[in-house]
Structure 1
Amino acid sequence: MDKKKEPINNGKLWIGFGILLALITPWYFPESFGEVLVYGIPLWALIIIIGSILLSAFLSYVIKFHWMLEEEKEEAKKKGDN
């Protein structure tokens, strides 16, 4: 059985969160990003939409594979008692 630990103790996950959060923050984009349109959507908006989707997928991954839930702890204890 894989040993899971809380994601707060994993530095690699924090780096991933930092990169994705920086990607969805528009204040550092150059002004020219507002002039470039991709299918009628400003480039900065497209980057934020893609970054939001990636952030959602990353959060789902972290919750599924790195988060130790109370139910999992209880199941592990029951299996260990047998």
Structure 2
Amino acid sequence: MSDYIVKHSCRKIELFQNEESLGYLDYHEGIGSLYIDYVFVEPQHRGKNVGKNIVEEGIKFAKEKGLTPKPICSYAAKVMKRKGEI
């Protein structure tokens, strides 16, 4: 899945495809860190790597801001562990 749009709003990263929300990630910033609090994927899009893509966007966003991504969400922790981020 590579044809999605990423939208950033206040402490949220959301993925859209054809103007439909696929899911989102909530985060907050700390000193030198971006904490991934929660990842949600719309039920009809589960099992399609949407969650993984959302976490990857969160990691990318953190690094662009010069922050270290840190998972609070257990799903984000699993994805980050698989990618060697933690």
Q: TM-score range by the shorter chain?
A: 0.3 to 0.5
User: Over alpha carbons, which structure has the higher Rg?
Assistant: 1
Higher relative contact order (CA 8 A, sep 6+): 1
Of Structure 1 and Structure 2, the greater helix share is in: 1
Of Structure 1 and Structure 2, the greater strand share is in: 2
